[in-house]
Structure 1
């Protein structure tokens, strides 16, 4: 699990190198600004109303999950961290009011492997369980980045945000959030 002291991805695949250079630059420079208190928030995957994962019929991630076009790749062992959009907003306010210069992970309390959370999300969306495909096919069908996210992501800890920002997510687990907070 990643803490704020860990770089986002020290050895990214080629497709992510340029965007991550920008992220790493922000994470190095913003906390050191001289004219204010520079706070960087690393959000987990958003879900809830108005996001890509919601009950909306046109939600960009929910739609392929409903159609079973979003399979579990390989062992599905990549660990993802999620955050409900309302919890992300609350953490942002807490960071503005209480944050010290630095980086904060804004995620729920339960990072989980794809093989665990994706079937629960599919059920919450009224879909059949996701299909499973081997890693080699995932690379061909979805690309290297998606395959790595499904198999090797590490998830993140919110311990620092809870402690220093006095922030507590309403949806402490994606399980509760997927069941109650997608609408």
Structure 2
């Protein structure tokens, strides 16, 4: 029994090193239709989950972490500011993780063109792309192609001191991390049980 537990401990340790060394690969989309085709090839009506900011009640699982300044939801948009001088930024989280994210963003109209927005996977500071200050309602999104998931997307000021970026997020879309199917969990449990019985003999 001790050997069995030792093998499980070593296996868990090896798997944790693999998770810590995770490196994302992704594709960036500037078309919602192309993004949707990539993230939902089977036309699942539950994909994606969309937050349209029609009111202050966010879709279940979605939350916004606002650092050094609160934003507001009004007129069907979420409005906030990113500013490198005051370390003001936001993280858009989805409980249980996500494998894809996208948004329709307007950086041009609220407050005039500012700097731009750098977008990161918040989990490990992976830089994804820069949204230019000319965006006026266009879509931009990512699909993780490495089979991984993440919990949050972070918006930061794109460049330079002395200028901030005020933006609207018109809508945001997420693809939740798939839950393991009960049959898969059952097979895993039976396999571990069989391994334990074999090791006992």
| Interval of TM-score (by shorter of Structure 1 and Structure 2) | under 0.3
Structure with the largest fraction of strand: 2
Structure with the largest fraction of helix: 1
The structure number with the bigger radius of gyration is 2
User: Normalising to structure 1: TM-score of the pair?
Assistant: 0.24
Query: Higher RCO, 1 or 2 (CA under 8 Å, sep at least 6)?
Result: 1
